Amino acid sequence: MPSKPHVLVVGGGFAGLETAFGLRHLLGDRVRMSLVADREDFLFKPNTIYLPFGAGEAPLHTPLPGPLFRRHIAFHQGSVTEADPDALAVELTDSTRLRGDFLVLATGAATHPQEVPGLAEHAQSVWTPRQMRSLGRQLQNLKENAQAGQHQRVLFLIPPDNKCAGPLYEIALMLDTWLRRAKLRSLVHLTWTTYESGYVQAFGPRLHQVVDHEFAARGIEGHTSAVVDEVGDTEVRYTDGTARPFDLLVAFPPYVAAVDYPGLPHDDRGFLNTLSVTRQVRGHPQIYAPGDAGDFPGKQAFLALLQAHAVAEHITMVVDPTLLALPRPFEPISMCVLEMLDKATFAQVPLEETGDPAHPVRVAADAGDRYRVGTSPLWRLGKKALGRYLPVRFRAGHPFHAGLPWQAVQLALDGMSRTLASPPD
């Protein structure tokens, strides 16, 4: 290990930036750092759910060169075409070859609609801002047709191997509120179908109950254990033989790893096999895979931030053991806010892996009162506040989990979640 080791971070999303800024916060100038990203800005993807309903996109983007320059982190824009695990090196699209003493692969996930016959051709996907804007245009068409007196059918679809269904739940619930405000809800039939055995299955029975109640109160027809077989131009066919018609199909496709790393251990979807607590790639102690690039079954921004924090602390311990008594391991506690436009649901869910492919994560057995779910209009303000706070931190080159600002956020979240949580059944 050189006196000033080089940490090479690949990925400009939640996990990559939190790792980079976290390391600079912990280690100062004890390391040299570089970051590779395929674009020159950070996208706050959780708030793209507002784009179909008329929100502007510009506030969701944070330029990267400035914050990285201020933190003395070299920036390279490009995509990885090849990785050399033994040399801890990557090659980019412009043939640039970069090598580190530590390699952090935070290249995230992508969607693969081609896995479901007809999905790419006939469904509106929700993943990129472009797709969200396209959905917005289709919702405007839907609204105009309803205003003309035409009954419309919107079908929502979660196929197997989608790893983060939450945003589609939000869009379905927001659409209900949006249509009610336009006094058009009676002309639009909303149907929800998911392959999972429960709504937002990974987050346990309390969130399932909230969604089940909301669907019933809002007249949204919901179906669980509905596994898609194929998609036609006017209907979706399921493996149990049923078929459901649609005028608009909105789907969240299956997930795959965004970048393939043939020389590293990975699962059948390309996600890198990691040690749970440190996010080190198995068999490669100087390579880490925080966030969606790794094999933790839940793919979610807050979980990615927690994994990145664990990576930053582990590398810090290796570089200078005097700085940390003991690095904190990755403890999967998901936090999410489910937006509905008229109110929102907050969920804090300690998770554990099961090893069961059908139910890969569940509420941790020792969750106790840390498992909190509550619904209130106040959580809409909380979601908007978090949507402003994190980009401000990244714009300044600071990690999300650090310093007095984060302690204040923790206190606020803890107080609100305790006060607004529904009592367990």
What pLDDT does residue 424 have?
Answer: 73
Q: Are residues 93 and 119 in the same domain?
A: no
What pLDDT does residue 263 have?
Answer: 94
Question: Does 363 fall in a domain?
Answer: yes
What pLDDT does residue 4 have?
Answer: 95
Question: Does 171 fall in a domain?
Answer: yes
Residue carrying the six token digits 């980009």 = 391
| Per-residue confidence in pLDDT tens, the chain, 425 aa | 788 999 999 999 999 999 999 999 999 999 999 999 999 999 999 999 999 999 999 999 999 999 999 999 999 999 999 999 999 999 999 999 999 999 999 999 999 999 999 999 999 999 999 999 999 999 999 999 999 999 999 999 999 999 999 999 999 999 999 999 999 999 999 999 999 999 999 899 999 999 999 999 999 999 999 999 999 999 999 999 999 999 999 999 999 999 999 999 999 999 999 999 999 999 999 999 999 999 999 999 999 999 999 999 999 999 999 998 778 899 999 999 999 999 999 999 999 999 888 889 999 999 999 999 999 999 999 899 889 999 999 999 999 988 888 888 889 888 988 898 887 76
- Burial call 342-381: b when 16+ CB within 10 Å, e when fewer: ebbbbbbbbbeeeeeeeebbbbbeebeeebbbbbbeebbe
Q: Are residues 240 and 268 in the same domain?
A: no
Q: Are residues 178 and 301 in the same domain?
A: no
Question: Does 425 fall in a domain?
Answer: no
Q: For 109, left (φ over 0), alpha (ψ -120 to 50), or beta?
A: beta
DSSP class per residue in 363-417: E-TT-GGG-EEEEETHHHHHHHHHHHHHHHHHHTT--SS-HHHHHHHHHHHHHHH
C-alpha angle 167-342-205 in degrees, rounded to nearest 5: 55
Residue 181 CA to residue 195 CA, distance in Å, equals 30
Q: Are residues 154 and 34 in the same domain?
A: no
Q: What phi and psi values does residue 164 have, to the nearest 5 degrees?
A: -155, 80
Residue 378 CA to residue 134 CA, distance in Å, equals 30
- State the number of CA atoms in the 13 A half-sphere of 121 facing the CB: 10
What pLDDT does residue 425 have?
Answer: 64
Q: Are residues 118 and 265 in the same domain?
A: no
Residue carrying the six token digits 């998911």 = 194
Q: Are residues 161 and 303 in the same domain?
A: no
Q: How many CB atoms lie within 10 A of CB 300?
A: 24
Contact (CB, 8 A) for 307 and 333: no
* Structure tokens that stand for 43 in this block: 């996208």
Question: Does 215 fall in a domain?
Answer: yes
Question: Does 296 fall in a domain?
Answer: yes
State which of 254, 283, 316 marks the end of a domain: 254
Residue 150 CA to residue 187 CA, distance in Å, equals 7
What pLDDT does residue 231 have?
Answer: 98
Q: Are residues 49 and 90 in the same domain?
A: yes
Question: Does 193 fall in a domain?
Answer: yes
Q: Are residues 403 and 273 in the same domain?
A: yes
Residues 6+ apart with CB under 8 A from 24: 33, 71, 72, 73, 397
Residues of the domain holding 10: 6-108+258-420
Q: Are residues 266 and 415 in the same domain?
A: yes
CATH code for position 338: 3.50.50.100
What pLDDT does residue 358 have?
Answer: 84
What pLDDT does residue 126 have?
Answer: 96
Global pTM value:
0.96
Q: Are residues 303 and 284 in the same domain?
A: yes
User: How many domains, in total, are found in the chain?
Assistant: 2
What pLDDT does residue 235 have?
Answer: 98
Question: Does 364 fall in a domain?
Answer: yes
Q: Are residues 99 and 144 in the same domain?
A: no
Q: Are residues 262 and 250 in the same domain?
A: no
State which of 220, 254, 288 marks the end of a domain: 254
Nearest to 80, CA basis, from 16, 173, 144:
16
